[in-house]
A and B are shown apart, each in its own frame.
Chain A
Amino acid sequence: MSECIVITSGKGGVGKTTSTANLGVALALMGKKVAVVDADIGLRNLDVILGLENRIVYDLVHVIEGECRLKQALIKDKRVEGLFLLPAAQTRDKNAVSPENMRDLVKQMKEDFDYILIDCPAGIEQGFKNSIAGADRAIIVTTPEVSALRDADRIIGLCEAAELPEPMLIVNRFRAKLVKRGDMLNKEDILDILAIPLIGMVPDHEDVIVTSNKGYPAAFDEKSIVGEAYRRIARRITGETDVPFVATEEPDTMWTVMKRWMGFSKEVAS
């Protein structure tokens, strides 16, 4: 069975592209055949996050306009078997593509792939409508902030209106220390506010910056806690239940307790 999942958020900069890249890698590492599609026409970035920017010849708009075949535009990732990128056009705008075009494209891709992940652009305009057109379900990325959660709620409403069944939530940039001292919304707070099921929590970690510099998604790195979070989300996507959430709490050591007790630590809000 083949499934098309749109990765969306409403707000920009919350980690849609990073999530799409990492989930693509993680699913491919599980032996699935995966295509990641950059639907952000005119502002492509998924190629850069994946480190495949130098290999683009054709793009999504070329395929839709019939200038090349789908197979010619798909870039094969050489680091893992079964991962392919369909890049966005950089010099066109989102009106070059219609929801009907995307539905046809996804239908065609489903013949070849187990999973098609669509990296949706920010906003709720044409690019969003194109991205959800061929999707079977949605994963909504948010961060534990008022602005991102507000936009996520709006997107949940739009997904429901478009009859995308049961969107699921990734909470990105989670900071256990801030949660612990009451300065960040925790898992329960967020689920209480948005009322959709959680599919994963991704800690805020420097790995994301380092891996984006290198074009080498954290999901490739067995030691990365960010990579581990995405690998677990990938397992949940494939239907595995009982995948534990990554421990995002950093345990207190004797030394951090001492420092806090003596009042040296700035992390204590008194």
Chain B
Amino acid sequence: MMNLLDRVFGRTNGGSKEDAKSRLKILLVHDQVDLTPSQMDAMRAEILAVVARYAEIEPNKVDLRLERSGDGINVVSSVAVRRVNARMAAG
């Protein structure tokens, strides 16, 4: 029913502008930061190594990206952890 109403009123969600927007947001941050893809990879690997000293990580679930916030740029990283190993952290 919503689909029909959307058709009647000419509304659709998630057109190609969403692609444009998400690509632009990444592009503009990278234009400003001027880090090469290999430098980004190196940063990702180093962050991974640090976290791995304290926790058992999922190596394939590491996300590192640059995001705009207000007038600055944030480096945002999320690392999936299987479990935190107390002995590793202590040593």
> Which A residues fall within an 8 A CB radius of B?
144-146, 149-150, 153-154, 157, 179-186, 189, 193, 195, 252, 257, 260-261, 263, 267-270
Contacts and interface: CB of A to CB of B under 8 A. Distances in A.
B16 A183 contact: yes
Interface stretch (B5-13, B51-59, B80-88): B5-13
A193 B23 CA distance: 11
B9 to A, nearest CB: 8
A154 B31 contact: yes
Interface of B: 7-18, 20-21, 23-25, 27-28, 31-32, 71
B30 to A, nearest CB: 10
A186 B10 contact: no
A263 B3 CA distance: 13
Contacts of A184: 17
A153 B28 CA distance: 7
A180 B11 CA distance: 7
Contacts of A185: 17, 20-21
A187 B87 CA distance: 54
Nearest to A149: B24
B69 to A, nearest CB: 12
B28 A181 contact: no
B7 A270 contact: yes
B7 A261 contact: yes
Contact of B17 (A153, A189, A252, A257): A189
A145 B20 CA distance: 7
Contacts of A195: 71
B24 A193 contact: yes
A257 to B, nearest CB: 6
Given A263-B7, A269-B15, 16 more contacts: A145-B20, A146-B24, A146-B27, A150-B27, A153-B28, A179-B17, A180-B10, A180-B11, A181-B11, A182-B12, A182-B14, A183-B15, A184-B17, A189-B17, A269-B12, A270-B7
